A and B are shown apart, each in its own frame.
Chain A
Amino acid sequence: MGYLEGGWEFVYAAYALSAVAFVGYGISVFLRFRAERARARREAPGAPEVSS
């Protein structure tokens, strides 16, 4: 059995990729929600929302 030396660049890459992915996807979800809410308000102001 050996011991794996170093490898910090892979560790940083995995954490950086995860951070970018979570932030990017989070922004995408929020922007799509905001756009859809604006569209709904424009098309039917005061209409009830579908239960979700």
Chain B
Amino acid sequence: MAEPLPRRGPGPALAFVVLGTLLLLAGSILGLAVAPPENFMGDVQRIMYVHVPTAWNAMLAFTFAFGCALLFLFQGGWKWDCRLEAAVEVGVFLAVLLCAQGAIWAKPTWGVWWDWDPRLTTTAVMVFLFTGILALRHFVDDPLKRATWSAVATIIAFVDVPIVYFSVRWWNSLHQLQSSPSTVSSVFHLPLRLNAFGVLFLMIGFITLRTRTAGLRLQGELAPPLPEPAAAPGLVPTRAGA
């Protein structure tokens, strides 16, 4: 569980972040300046190039957290707990950003910033559930209890992720159907794909670095207490002096 690892710098994580940033910049330039406006939504549809990749990767982060929770419970190993913590935090970050981007897109197209529509409601529930897991981890001091409880809570919270994805098909929703290469015109594919991989690499970089932070903190929590400093001989209490 506490196998020695060489002390590595943040290099691999930063490499993913740099690659993701470059892809996201390229995709955004194409989406803003090169891709044509959509037939009905016009230029506002360009928000799709950041909104949809954020949504895909938020759900991917929660799916990864779900996998980590199962592996921690059935296989064991602190590394799965560290990865779960990182994936949940990055997933919550992406999901909150997703809601903000969605609100900005909703105002000009639907006329409102927010609506209690099935897709938006289930997404809000997803954000609150996973934020609750982060809060749970913050308030539980015992590492084993924290890891076990948050793994169980992650499995329960993950039930909402497929509900979010299929909500637009299962219920009558203001939100359009899921965006994918089959539902999006081919002229929009390149910026969408570049941004999807850009956000994916950023997410991998963030999760990698955040996992190492969680590992370092756990190392401190699991380490035996430091020995008491040796006292000077004259200060050691003895029975005779008592």
Contact = CB atoms under 8 A, between A and B. Distances in A.
B4 A48 contact: yes
Give the bracket for the number of chain A residues in contact with chain B. 35 or more
A50 B42 contact: no
Contacts of B218: 50, 52
B interface majority secondary structure: helix
Contacts of B109: 4
Given A30-B10, A43-B220, A51 B50 contact: no
B43 A11 contact: yes
A interface majority secondary structure: helix
Given A50-B82, A51-B1, A33 B93 contact: no
A24 to B, nearest CB: 10
Contact of B78 (A2, A5, A39, A50): A50
Contact of B213 (A5, A29, A43): A29
A14 B103 CA distance: 9
Interface of B: 1-5, 7, 10, 17, 21, 24, 28, 32, 39-44, 46-47, 50-51, 54, 77-79, 82-83, 93, 97, 100-101, 104-105, 107-109, 202, 205-206, 209-220, 222-223, 226
Interface of A: 1-8, 10-11, 13-15, 17-18, 21-22, 25-26, 29-30, 32-33, 36-37, 39-40, 43-44, 47-52
